[in-house]
Chain A
Amino acid sequence: MDAKRRSFLKSAAMAAAGSMVAGNTSLPVVHADQAVDDLPTGEGMTWNKAPCRFCGTGCHVQVGVEDGRVVAIAGDKAADVNKGLLCVKGYHVGGILYGKDRLTNPLLRKDGKLTEIEWDEAIETIAKRIFDSPQTFAFYGSGQWTIPEGYAAQKFMKGGLGNNHIDPNARLCMASAVTGFLATYGVDEPAGCYQDLDECDVLITWGNNPAEMHPVLFSRVTDRRSRGETVRIIDIGTRKTRTTDAANDYLEMKPHGDVAISLGIMHLLIENNNYDKSFVEKHCNFRGAEELTPTLQGEQISEAEFRKRIAKYTPERVEELSGVPADQIRMLADLFGNHDIRITSLWCMGMNQHTMGTAINSLVHGVHLLSGHFGRPGDAPTSLTGQPSACGTVREVGTLAHALPGGRVVANPEHREQCEGFWNLSPGSINATPGYHTVKMFEQFTKPTSQGGDITTMFVQVTNPGQTLPNLNALFNDKQGLEDKFLIVSDVYPTATTVLADLILPAAMWVEKNGVYGNSERRTQQWFKMVDPPGEARDDCWMTIAIAHKLFEMGYEGMKDKDGEFIFAVKNEAGEEIPIWEFDHYYDTNVDKHLFEEYRQFTTMKHKNLAPYDEYVKARGLRWPVVEQDDGSWRETKFRFSGFDDPFVTAGQEFDFYHSSTNDGRAQIWFHEYAPPPEMPDEEFPMWLCTGRVLEHWHSGTMTRRVSQLSRAMPTAYLEMNPEDAKAANIRQGERVIVESRRGKCELPVWIDGRGRPPRGTIFVPFFDETKLINNCTLDAHDPFSKQPDYKKCAARVKKLAEAPS
């Protein structure tokens, strides 16, 4: 690097640090227009905005580009989400583009060996397999899909092929949050937003570790303390974490204890007669699960019946079930019984990856509704997402086996008809039967065709199921040796999934392409392509459109609309079709914008209205519903269902749950009986195993492990163990052990009293390390409604390596 350029970069770094100091907080608040001005340009460097590629927080960064390469990243101070602050992953997000082993050519396995091929052959190979057997094809996607990518995949499958076997990896991380919202409010996604974190008096983290998983959000809370504000943090968890370090109270629960705790709070609110009667009478119904065949709708029960059912969840009974002392249950109930304070609940995988995931989500919403801690800034039950567009793409575009865009479902004839109308398809084009959810999809793919395994071709985009699926030996590794099963994987790096792939497609990533994400607080965020992808790597959205067009050329009827036109046809102003299926012409137009504007039509149907694409170009994201004002401007919504902010609440109403499943504007307060976990420790497998994440690595580590700073900071997975358990087993710090369950095993070094401190009888292993696949051990038992597996609790044993059987 020459001296002039070095000097330039140093001045840019000093400007960025200096501006944060000038604000004298770690979250400086500045006017939007100033944000880019203090990042020096010159030397050929340009800056442009993009949301971070990692978690669902939705931080914005400024990306510095010079000579076609990302050379700098700065926190974006104009972004309301992060106000200039980024976590350690965010600061290194530019480095994820430049790992040395980027995939740069399509690779086809021929005679067992991966061989470079041309894109034409790759697209033709895929199209031919689909053409020959469209109903045994499955598309497995992701909450990392951009909104246009997910929308294109959704239209390709459900509109083009009439095949509903499309599901995302978000099934593994937040499906129970979706079913919890649907069961409670009749419509998905949080009512509140991140402003709740700035205004709450009490923050309760339910099996959640935002200090590591959503650090910028957690900083918004801890920063308030540095400004002299009082915010009480109550951490309910199965192990001590960095969040615990900042908490005022730590309530250590047994696995599944959250269900009992929420029932206990509701019991005391009722018993002490200090629930919010006015809110409940005006805005809520009571609901319970049907005894014989429970459904997501449940059955209406009276308040008296609710009282009767919840009567047995006394603090003492809850202590027995959850391990949390009865006095602490009373403390929580007293807080919820105090209407003068504001309480926000946060949760993520701990509550969602749960065989009672739908139940516990509904119960925590119920605690807030029963106590009236809802709908005022700071009073909110809020689930977080782990992927950048789990909300925008999966939940809103509906890339799930049962869903259609805009909150529609395939099982509803009216919804199918609406969708066929928007897509200009012949009536009956969309299949009425939901496709396979993730676990079922992979079961069918890894089961021999002769034994009923009716998925024979699988296309995986933007995710890594070979590492992240539970019970890998059954759901992924069994694919090996099945000659007629064909796995196509689009990714940016070789992964645990590409190891078994028959065809690997090199993908463009993040700012190598246009994109739109939707974050955890209903915020839709747009960015433009800034640099070219390496080699022959190409956009995932282009791949989908190119395959669709190849099928169109082959005469596949589904790829034509009612007028005989290609279903992804894009025309220029002269009415001529732009050949976007040819990569050389893909950027002749903004395909994202075309797809987004088509998708936008769906968003008004569940009051998740989006603004035109160009509004997102100007903004650092807008929270839906976004509605047009009389002066032509577009206004976002921070607090749904609250009359003071939500434009769809009937005038004069304080609250209106306008998508109520009971069609009466009311939310549902659910009762669910506590049920024990699906697998419990026993003599043979005496420990509880919980899996999760770490600050430095994002999910399966395929990107963050290519950034040397992050890789060096956290180079390998490990086993967290309680010191007493380790001593009893004669295991010392750093020794290698075998963790084993009934499904598989994994070798790991032991870290005692490290970052997390599990109680006796429990162990924790992060899943980011593809050289140590802990998901060989995890359980594929799943919630009956959300179909989300339970990664957080299964029975395991730990043996010193020397003592373990070979």
Chain B
Amino acid sequence: MPISGLVITFASQVEEHSAAIESLHEVPEIEIGNASGSKLAIVVDSADKRRDQQIWNMVRELPGVIDLAVAMVAFDEDNETAERESIRNLE
């Protein structure tokens, strides 16, 4: 259940992108924070990593968004590490 602090960079001042902001408000897992200039802080708190990826993709594709950067990512006891088949040879 990942929690990420993200910074969206718009092509111009944040207030000029009301349609994109509205789209962000419609996503229940997103909490919108401070804006300054072309940058906007958000937190994404999603149920699983697949949903996290969906939200990430959706945000990046919003009109006017030119960059999405991570400011913090939280790891915890639910952290999923890759379910890879180990090449450890114990046989």
Contacts and interface: CB of A to CB of B under 8 A. Distances in A.
Specify whether A and B are partners: yes
Contacts of A88: 70
Interface stretch (A6-14, A403-411, A643-651): A6-14
B43 A17 contact: yes
Given A1-B78, A18-B34, A20-B41, 13 more contacts: A6-B1, A9-B3, A13-B43, A16-B72, A18-B41, A20-B69, A21-B35, A64-B74, A71-B74, A75-B72, A98-B79, A113-B91, A114-B90
Residue of A14, A17, A86, A496 with highest tally of chain B CB at under 10 A: A17
B77 interface: yes
A75 B69 CA distance: 11
Contacts of A706: 81-82, 84
Contacts of A74: 71-72
B33 to A, nearest CB: 5
Interface of B: 1, 3-7, 9, 31, 33-43, 45, 49, 53, 67, 69-84, 86-91
B33 A14 contact: yes
28 contacts: A1-B76, A9-B74, A9-B76, A10-B45, A14-B5, A14-B41, A20-B39, A21-B34, A21-B40, A24-B38, A64-B74, A69-B76, A72-B74, A72-B75, A73-B72, A95-B81, A98-B75, A99-B82, A100-B81, A100-B83, A103-B88, A113-B91, A114-B88, A114-B90, A494-B89, A498-B88, A712-B49, A712-B82
Nearest to B86: A101
A83 interface: no
A72 B70 CA distance: 12
Contacts of A296: none
Interface in A1-59: 1, 5-6, 9-10, 12-22, 24, 26
Given A17-B42, A21-B34, A98 B7 contact: no
Contacts of B35: 21
Contact of B81 (A22, A24, A71, A708): A708
Contact of B89 (A14, A19, A64, A114): A114
Nearest to A704: B82
In this complex, the member of B67, B73, B79 whose beta carbon has the largest number of chain A beta carbons within 10 angstroms is B73
Closest 10 CB pairs of A and B: A13-B5, A494-B88, A17-B5, A16-B72, A17-B41, A17-B71, A16-B71, A101-B86, A711-B82, A24-B37
Contacts of A5: 76
Interface of A: 1, 5-6, 9-10, 12-22, 24, 26, 64, 69-75, 84-86, 88, 91-92, 94-95, 98-101, 103, 107, 113-114, 493-496, 498-499, 705-709, 711-712, 770
Task: Point out which of B1, B5, B38, B42 has the most chain A C-beta atoms below 10 A from its C-beta.
Answer: B5
A22 B36 contact: yes
Contacts of A15: 5
Nearest to A710: B82
A24 B91 contact: no
Contact of B73 (A14, A72, A711): A72
A1 B90 contact: no
A18 B87 CA distance: 42
Contacts of A6: 1, 3, 45
Contacts of B73: 13, 72-73, 91-92
Among B42, B43, B71, B82, find the residue whose CB has the most chain A CB atoms closer than 10 A: B71
Residue with the highest number of chain B CB atoms closer than 10 Å, among A71, A72, A113, A709: A709
A94 B75 contact: yes
